[in-house]
Amino acid sequence: MNQDNNSNHKQDPKNNRSPRLIVTVIFVALLITLGFNMLFESLTTARQEEISYNEFQQMLEKNEIEEVTFEGDHLNILTKEESKKAAGARTVYYTGVISNYVMNDLVEQLQTKEVKYQSIVAQQESPIVTFIVSWVLPMVLMFGLLMLLYRMMAKRMGGMGGIGGIGQSKAKVYMEKETGVTFADVAGQDEAKESLVEIIDFLHNPQKYAAIGAKLPKGALLVGSPGTGKTLLAKAVAGEAHVPFFSISGSDFVEMFVGVGASRVRDLFQQAAKVAPAIIFIDEIDAIGRSRDSKMGGNDEREQTLNQLLSEIDGFDSSKGVVILAATNRPEILDKALLRAGRFDRRIIVDRPNLEGRYQTLRVHTRNIKLAEDVDLHKIAQATAGAVGADLANLVNEAALRAVRLGRHAVNQQDLLTSFEVVIAGTEKKGTVLTDIEKRIVAYHEIGHALVAALKKHTMPVSKVTIIPHTSGALGYTMHMPEEEKYISTKEELLVELETLLGGRAAEQVVFGAQTTGASNDIQRATELARQMVTQYGMSEKIGLMALASVENEYLGGNAYMDCAQSTAAEADKEVHALLEQCYKAAKQLLQEHRALLDEVSLYLLQRETITGDELMAYIDADQNHKAQDE
């Protein structure tokens, strides 16, 4: 079996694609030659129309004939009117057999009318010569022209080799000093780095593992949400190991021509084997690694590419130091054969960074940024819960741009906080002018959110409330600042979160007795949370501990789909509605009990347009002290 595999790998991929390409070129040349022959014949050959001999005599008497040609057993007649036209647009008339005695009289008539006449003697041409001149020679010329064009395209595409170079690998090769990335440039992914350190150690000291009989895993699959740093981690592995790094995207294997993807896979592994030890990194491997099925038929280009990838992974010897890394954010759709032991043995989760991870990531991204003395990266990390590395890099860059716009030479804390607000809510819309009643509704709406969050337990503290419109479409927003990193939530905490989301609509109803469109996003978020509590978290008293929904594309923030009977789904809808009504009534009652505080803080917000969490808590503390004195 090993000998067969090795012999297959030694085959030149050009031997497989050259005959197919030559046949394609010959077929194209044949079609072009046929088209040229038909076009040439239509442009150079005049149309012919048969007339009677009497009609010919009448045309002769009227001096309408320019030329007569005697050809075998018939006459070709060209009129003076048709002679003025181009050769391909003319109509040549012809008439039938003429006897010899009539022919003599006809010649005299033509001479009398001064009509040109001539006789054409049919020449017997060889059919072989005609075929060669009309077909073979044009095809050879066209074939040579097409081959010349293919070679010119190959050189223009970078000299990738082969006829046209379309089967050559498009992998970008980064040598030892060209990656410029090490583990020092990757922060917030300590667990993922620990999983990759062993691969680096094997590339440095393979004999240590060979002595005990251990084998290096052939492949490692990096799985995580977009922006978490999967590609950066792969480059860091190559940078730490000081080995060649072949980087290619999964979509680069898929082409219009059949067999090109498989050829590129073979070429990629051959290049890596020549410079081993080396690392092959395939980004977005789900482009070619999607699970195979027979719904749309098999044996297509993508499946051929996947089959070739599987055979190449099985064919190379990991002891030579060739390691395959791949990245995806859709692991659930990958083919099972790709994930089995012996291929991608390890699955490394590149998750969203925690509080400490975000702090370390911010330190990495601010190494080359001039920071003011008031910058506290711990607070920025605390405010950016759920952000990935790409988000934090964008946040730091936006802060630097803001500092430049304002004419400062260093980034301060306010720049970082403002850039965070720009990322979540957009920039301020200074040209939007609200009417007085609209500003009052927005102010009460936002204070409704803030008061419910501040007066209830198990909530995140409010850090800022504003009624300045932003480009995200929000006319105002309430920002919360988590005090600590949380990974689980209780039912009581989720109920309070629902009350906070519905506090804006409750404030509108308490103060104005009206319902506005401003609560649409709040209602959508509250409905989604309530549905998760009922269908995924098992927090419904009637339905109980039963999962009714499953989440697709977990790392892409996919939506849940119901996986239950229609009657059960209808019961779940009733539970979601009851849960929302319960929390809405609780928020409404709380605001009614603190109506004076609601009015006071809303009036202050109308005057200032933006208040901080400390200012809000000062009003709440004063209100509670006042009530305590009254009692």
pLDDT tens, position by position, 32-52: 767 666 665 655 555 677 787
C-alpha 301/C-alpha 307 separation (Å) is 10
67-81: average pLDDT: 77
CA distances from 504 to 52, 179, 454, 588, 624 (A): 98, 51, 14, 9, 22
Say what the pLDDT of residue 177 is: 43
Name every residue whose Cβ is closer than 8 Å to that of residue 264 and which is 6 or more positions away in sequence: 167, 168, 169, 170, 252, 253, 305
Query: Which class does domain 45-120 fall in?
Result: alpha beta
DSSP code, position 461:
P
Q: What single-letter amino acid sits at 607?
A: Q
Binned at pLDDT 50, 70 and 90, residue 174 comes out as very low
Residue bearing the bigger pLDDT, 340 or 7: 340
Q: Token pair of 73, please?
A: 């057993």
Say what the pLDDT of residue 524 is: 93
Does pLDDT of 11 surpass 60? no
C-alpha 581/C-alpha 590 separation (Å) is 14
Q: What is the CATH superfamily name and number for domain 172-349?
A: P-loop containing nucleotide triphosphate hydrolases (3.40.50.300)
559-581: average pLDDT: 88
| End-to-end alpha carbon distance in the chain | 91
Q: Identify which of 210-214, 309-313, 373-377 has the greatest average pLDDT.
A: 373-377
C-alpha 443/C-alpha 430 separation (Å) is 17
Phi then psi dihedrals of residue 103, to 5 deg: -60, -40
pLDDT tens, position by position, 100-112: 556 667 777 777 7
Strand, coil or helix: 466: strand
> What is 436-630's CATH topology?
Methane Monooxygenase Hydroxylase; Chain G, domain 1 (1.20.58)
Phi then psi dihedrals of residue 246, to 5 deg: -95, 115
C-alpha 491/C-alpha 533 separation (Å) is 8
Residue bearing the bigger pLDDT, 471 or 60: 60
User: Taking the domains of the chain in order of start, what are their residue ranges?
Assistant: 2-42+128-156, 45-120, 172-349, 355-424, 436-630
Binned at pLDDT 50, 70 and 90, residue 584 comes out as very high
CA 547 to mean position of chain CA atoms: 32
Residue 173: Cβ-neighbour burial (10 angstroms; 0-12, 13-18, 19+): middle
- What pTM was computed for the model? 0.65
The pairing of beta strand 477-480 with beta strand 462-466:
antiparallel
Name every residue whose Cβ is closer than 8 Å to that of residue 567 and which is 6 or more positions away in sequence: none
Does pLDDT of 576 surpass 60? yes
Say what the pLDDT of residue 4 is: 42
Binned at pLDDT 50, 70 and 90, residue 15 comes out as very low
Say what the pLDDT of residue 211 is: 82
| Mean pLDDT computed over every residue of the chain | 78
Say what the pLDDT of residue 8 is: 39
Domain at 355-424: CATH architecture? Orthogonal Bundle (1.10)
Say what the pLDDT of residue 125 is: 52
* 3-class SS string, 293-353: CCCCCCCCHHHHHHHHHHHHHHHCCHHHCEEEEEEECCHHHECHHHHCCCCEEEEEECCCC
Does pLDDT of 209 surpass 90? no
Please state the length of the chain. Answer: 631
Residue bearing the bigger pLDDT, 87 or 596: 596
C-alpha 398/C-alpha 405 separation (Å) is 11
Lowest-confidence segment of 33-47, 71-85, 112-126, 167-181 by average pLDDT: 167-181
C-alpha 361/C-alpha 593 separation (Å) is 45
Does pLDDT of 14 surpass 80? no
Locus of tokens 């590419």: 305
Q: Do the beta carbons of residue 236 and residue 181 sit within 8 Å?
A: yes
pLDDT tens, position by position, 221-272: 999 888 888 888 888 887 887 888 888 887 777 654 556 777 888 888 888 8
CA 202 to mean position of chain CA atoms: 34
Say what the pLDDT of residue 557 is: 66
C-alpha 84/C-alpha 55 separation (Å) is 21
What amino acid positions are annotated as catalytic residues?
446
DSSP code, position 372:
-
Percent of the chain with pLDDT over 90: 17
Q: Token pair of 362, please?
A: 């911010």
